[in-house]
Structure 1
């Protein structure tokens, strides 16, 4: 899993289409990194120092980013690591699952995972055998969206594939996941990560539907 750099927010009107796609891809990459494992000190610092300013600071997305940046600035890596473990790992069954099949079908490794694997096969993507998480893990889905935005093959990395993949494999369940994270008593830093993820996915849903 590669670790994306948090971007400094600027008003969308100031971005070219290519710059906007780069920004979207970067945010998907950052969310992939944050949900794959607890961030290290360098990642927390980069988030904390990249504040939304100007017009976008007053938007739901900018406000959520700044709340996450504030939380990152006051967080200790050991505490965030313990929080990640308490929320998403734990002993036996985790408190919160990060797998789409669980929310869409009610169980892990169900039909939504089969459908996802079919789409990944069309893209020429397959799970690394060294990775224990199944492909419907939120981090993997965010990485695939980053690929569909920033990849080099226009037959795969295009707006239509982004719309289909997001609508099929992310949109049906991410809001429910975010609700669970934000309601969990152990969620502090990840409550703000979830708030930002919710705002970002909401913007994506509207933008992809209108595109």
Structure 2
């Protein structure tokens, strides 16, 4: 029996087949779900506009987190990583574009990137943004960009960087979702893990977080964002690339100082 959050997502997407199409997996996979798998929550939220705390309240409700106050800087980092995870995992829904159009910024590089994203979202057509996402990351056979650590670090998919990531995830108690065919070194999954570190929903010491970032994120993800920023075949995702590049530069500098 499906839970309420999954039913709401299916209704919002227009049926099981449409939900599967929007998040890039097979219809039978979605048909077998009783609830949205943890590693699909961000993608389903982006595709349907149903909030993650409605999809999986056991993972994202206020009660699921520590009662200890979260540092404002870490809260902001968690939101930034979650935003990037959302935009990398699935094309934005109309509702998400409307929310992004309300972003504000300041004179800093990241603030300017937020303003640019708000402007891009306000003028974006959801169907065109979905097509951009498909052409960039999915494609007919393969997309223009392959957002996987293994590919950027070795030139091939499913190589040693993925096996090293899986070992470190296991050591940190981060489990792979059953029946999930997406390799864990996808940029969206890594951003979601970093968001969990920042907001405390994933338990890891500051040293472990820094080691994870320096080993699995910083060696390659900046190049992915730079490639997105320079692509000729996208408008909305060029702006997403600029935001990601600016944020990762800040994170790299912060972790360097912490070290």
Structure 1 residue 129 displacement after superposition: 2.8
Tell me if the contact between 1:148 and 1:161 (Cα under 8 Å) persists in the aligned partners: no
Give the TM-score, by structure 2 length: 0.71
Larger-gyration structure (1/2): 2
Q: What pairs up with 1:75-86 in 2 under 5 angstroms?
A: 75-86=124-135
Q: Distance in 1 between matches of 2:172 and 2:110?
A: 30
Structure 1 residue 152 displacement after superposition: 4.8
Q: What pairs up with 1:14-163 in 2 under 5 angstroms?
A: 18-52=71-105, 57-152=106-201, 156-163=203-210
Give the TM-score, by structure 1 length: 0.87
Deviation string for 1:160-204 (max 9, x for gaps)?
A: 122111111111111221222122221110000000000000000
Deviation string for 1:82-140 (max 9, x for gaps)?
A: 00001100111221001011011111100000110011001212221332210000000
CA RMSD in angstroms comes to 1.7
Bigger RCO of structures 1 and 2 (CA < 8 A, at least 6 apart): 1
1:166 aligned onto 2:219 = no
Q: Distance in 1 between matches of 2:100 and 2:93?
A: 11
Tell me if the contact between 1:100 and 1:138 (Cα under 8 Å) persists in the aligned partners: yes
Gaps of 5+ in 2: 1-40, 52-68
Structure 1 residue 142 displacement after superposition: 0.5
1:197 alignment counterpart: 244
Tell me if the contact between 2:114 and 2:243 (Cα under 8 Å) persists in the aligned partners: yes
Q: Distance in 1 between matches of 2:204 and 2:198?
A: 6
1:11 alignment counterpart: none
SS state at 1:201 partner: helix
Q: Structure 1 runs of 4+ off > 4 angstroms?
A: none
Evaluate the alpha carbon distance shift between residue 152 and residue 63 of structure 1 in structure 2; reply closer, same or farther with a 3 A threshold. Answer: closer
Gaps of 5+ in 1: 6-15
